[in-house]
Amino acid sequence: MIPIIILITVVSSPTAILSPPELTIPISTGTPGPSATIVETLFYDDGTVYSAWCWYYEGNGWGYYFTTNVGRFIEGMGIYIYEGWPVPGGDRCIIRFTDWENEMPGKTYLEEEITVTPGEWNWYTLPTPLWDYDGKFCVFYIQVGNYPNCCGLAEDSAQENPAPDWWTDGSSYGRGFPRNDFLIRVIVST
Ligand SMILES: [Ca+2]
Ligand SMILES: [Ca+2]
């Protein structure tokens, strides 16, 4: 399947962002050290809000594969919604947590429609953390509303490693992002 996507014209310069105080290293540079007390935030983006993408039709999305190499609790996730595009835009999206099976996104752990605010990090904390025994899992952003009545998912300014990138049409999955790294992060703990 070829994902149908719309590219926003680049209008932003790198923007300061809010993030949890425990923000740590990008997972792509190594496995964060296990800690009994520190909640780790895993991410691939560099925090810059460069541009954004959305799908023509709702129900499609993008997400990442994460691995911590040891069992972890998935505590929640964060997404950054671009401000000012598309117009009128939206304030709802679906987030999905899945297991990692047969080298691809597998069983859905949990899916939730949430309200989001453009122009900032939106953090969703699970009421009950999910235990993933091998630390291999995925998190997805899924669009609610057809273009342009939807959110624009922010991307950073460069892609360093496309390996963890996945898209979904809601039920199946495929590899790859349209361009750079999406601002999708996950919070884990031991
Ligand atoms: Ca797993
Ligand atoms: Ca990047």
Taking only the tens place, the pLDDT of each residue in 180-190 is 999 999 988 87
pLDDT, position 18: 29
96 inside domain = yes
Q: How many domains does the chain have?
A: 1
* Sequence-ordered list of residues with C-beta below 8 angstroms from that of 56, at least 6 positions apart, any chain: 4, 5, 6, 146, 147
Distance 181 CA to ligand 2 centre (A): 5
Is pLDDT of 3 > 60? no
User: Which amino acid is residue 36, in one-letter code?
Assistant: A
CA distance 74 to 113: 17
Q: How far is the CA of 41 from the centre of ligand 1 (A)?
A: 17
Beta-carbon-side half-sphere exposure of residue 32 (alpha carbons within 13 Å):
27
| pLDDT for 20 beyond 50 | no
- The answer as to whether 60 is a domain residue is yes
Residue type at 122? Answer: N
CA of 84 to the centre of ligand 2 (A): 22
In a domain, residue 165? The reply is no
Q: What percent of the chain has pLDDT over 70?
A: 79
- Taking the centre of ligand 1 as the mean of its atom positions, its distance from the CA of residue 132, in whole angstroms, is 5
Measured from the Cβ of residue 101, the count of other Cβ atoms closer than 10 Å reads: 12
Q: According to the model, what pLDDT value does residue 65 have? A: 95
Alpha-carbon distance 96 to 77, whole Å? Answer: 9
* Ligand 1 center–CA 65 separation, angstroms: 10
Name the residue range of residue 115's domain. Answer: 37-156+174-189
Whether residue 140 is contained in a domain is answered as yes
- Domain for residue 81, yes or no? yes
Type of residue at 187: I
Kindly identify the ligand whose nearest atom is closest to the C-alpha of 49: 2
Ligand with an atom nearest the CA of residue 65: 1
Question: Could you tell me if residue 85 is inside a domain?
Answer: yes
The enclosing domain of 50 has a CATH number of: 2.60.120.820
User: Which tens digit of pLDDT belongs to each residue from 124-182?
Assistant: 889 999 999 999 999 999 999 999 999 999 999 888 889 999 999 999 999 999 889 99
Residue 74 domain flag? yes
pLDDT at 1: 46
Residue 102 lies in a domain: yes
Using one digit for the tens of pLDDT, what is the confidence trace for 97-139? 999 999 999 999 999 999 999 998 888 889 999 999 999 999 9
Give residue 86 CA to ligand 2 midpoint distance, Å. 22
97 bridge partner residues: 110, 139
